[in-house]
Amino acid sequence: MYVCICSAVTERQIRACAQDGATTMQDLREKLCVAGNCGKCARHAKTILREVHGTPASVGDTPATVA
């Protein structure tokens, strides 16, 4: 699934980048240009980053789901 439409970055690419050592949003921005334009993907990208590294999400970090 595409997470960052502006830079055409997928969830799989973000996970791979995190597994290769990216630990911050700045790392993702530098390596994949995630959240470098409109920024609407930042919350979801951060959630993926935290999932990969096993860090707990803060309240409000998880994107809302539609029932």
Percent of the chain clearing pLDDT 70 (strictly above) = 84
Task: Please report the domains of the chain, with CATH numbers, ordered by start residue.
Answer: 2-53 (1.10.10.1100)
Q: Is the pLDDT of residue 20 over 80?
A: yes
Contact 42, 14 (CB under 8 A): no
| pLDDT on residue 33 | 96
| pLDDT on residue 67 | 37
Euclidean distance between CA atoms 3 and 56, whole angstroms: 20
| pLDDT on residue 4 | 97
Percent of the chain clearing pLDDT 90 (strictly above) = 79
Longest dimension (CA), the chain: 34
Task: Flag whether the pTM goes above 0.85.
Answer: no
Please report, for residues 40, 47, 59, 61, the alpha-carbon distance to residue 64 in angstroms, rounded to integers and kept in the order given: 13, 12, 11, 9
Residue 24 per-residue DSSP state: S
